[in-house]
Amino acid sequence: MELVCPAGNLPSLKAAVDNGADAVYIGFRDETNARHFAGLNFNDKQIEKCLDYARSHGTKVYVAINTYPQPGNITKWERAVDQAAEYGVDALILADIGVMDYAAGKWPELRLHLSVQASATTHEAVRFYAEQFGVQRAVIPRVLSVKQVEALVSNSPIPIEVFGFGSLCVMVEGRCYLSSYVTGQGPNTFGACSPASFVRWSETDSKLETRLNGVLIDQVNKDENAGYPTICKGRFVVNGETGYAIEEPTSLNTLPILPELLRIGVSAIKIEGRQRSPAYVAKVTGVLRAAIDACMRDPENFVPDEDWLSQLTSVSEGVQTTLGAYQREWQ
């Protein structure tokens, strides 16, 4: 089971490599990837350094080009594919059919992975990409129960990668327009959810308010912590009750079900968080490395170490974790 770790900059990449990542995934410094944040990601020079460092340590590098170009701007995505191919990266992580068609046609030797942003949740959908574009691995959305992942893995023509830790998208990735509905910019077209330029924090007499393009996402007492106004983690009113109508601020953590994921044949575990700090990447990579190694040595007797769990919780959204959709009760 491969451990795939996020890197939004060179220090994070080094942190991932040094703490036991089998592979790191990165993006270019523009809207061709789904973590298009100011100051994040790699330009040409940095990519070379990143590849040198990863290669000298035997770590693979995947490049995410996983947003959706529009008719007027597809050449930017094609150029990103060409650049990554010319650098000889180990795989591209793609979401858009047009981009995949281009990559498969122009760089037939280049390994392609299906991004979670392509929303493939069944073996038939995965087969489509494998047959049409020679995709060799699929990252699946965080919507399936463990049993459903098992069925998908056993019927899939290609290996399956799942999310193991990090911020939790509760909507099917690649089809969530919450951010674009409120701001005009969302993951598919712009590469970011709830972009910072639309965020406003303001104080009233007793409250701290967070807004996204004017829409009140949450309101806390001044002595509480106000989270980032991601729409799906906000507090709203439904049937007269105020609360987290969609999901609480929480992170996905699969340590408790690691033996299950190994048993059902999941090929790779991905850590979310290219936008997070090198310290986050170091900590989470280290814990997941130790856990996967322990689990593979003796899956029958695997129990997540208390220290691992507390380390992961300390870097989680809302300082709490969940198994998300893997667990049916969550659904």
- In the range 161-220, which residues lie near another protein by CB under 8 A? 170-172, 174-178, 180-184, 186, 188-189, 213, 215-217, 219
Sign of CA dihedral 219, 232, 62, 163: positive
Residue from the set 160, 264, 292, 325 that interacts with another protein by CB under 8 A: 325
Residue 122 near another protein by CB under 8 A:
yes
**Angle CA 161–117–39, to nearest 5:** 100
Do the Cβ atoms of 65 and 81 come closer than 8 Å? yes
Q: Which is nearer to another protein, 57 or 147 (CB)?
A: 147
- Separation CA 166–CA 186 (nearest Å): 19
- How buried is 27 (Cβ within 10 angstroms: 0-12 exposed, 13-18 middle, 19+ buried)? buried
Q: Which is nearer to another protein, 249 or 278 (CB)?
A: 249
Q: Which is nearer to another protein, 127 or 263 (CB)?
A: 127
Using the contact rule CB under 8 A, the part of the chain among 141-149, 256-264, 295-303, 311-319 near another protein is: 141-149
Per DSSP bridges, beta strands 268-271 and 2-6 are parallel
Using the contact rule CB under 8 A, the part of the chain among 54-62, 96-104, 250-258, 288-296 near another protein is: 96-104
Q: Could you tell me the smallest distance in angstroms from the CB atom of residue 1 to another protein?
A: 23
Helix or strand run (H / E) with residue 232: none
Contacts with 292 (C-beta within 8 Å, 6 or more apart), sequence order = 1, 3, 258, 269
- Separation CA 170–CA 15 (nearest Å): 28
Using the contact rule CB under 8 A, the part of the chain among 2-10, 68-76, 259-267, 282-290 near another protein is: 68-76
**Angle CA 323–328–331, to nearest 5:** 85
Q: Which two tokens stand for residue 60?
A: 């693979």
Q: Could you tell me the smallest distance in angstroms from the CB atom of residue 57 to another protein?
A: 36
Using the contact rule CB under 8 A, the part of the chain among 85-93, 275-283, 288-296, 321-329 near another protein is: 321-329
Q: Which is nearer to another protein, 215 or 309 (CB)?
A: 215
Residues 230-289 that bind another protein (CB under 8 A): 232, 235-239, 241-242, 245-247
Ramachandran region of residue 146, left (φ > 0), alpha (ψ -120 to 50) or beta? alpha
Q: Could you tell me the smallest distance in angstroms from the CB atom of residue 233 to another protein?
A: 13
Q: Could you tell me the smallest distance in angstroms from the CB atom of residue 187 to another protein?
A: 10
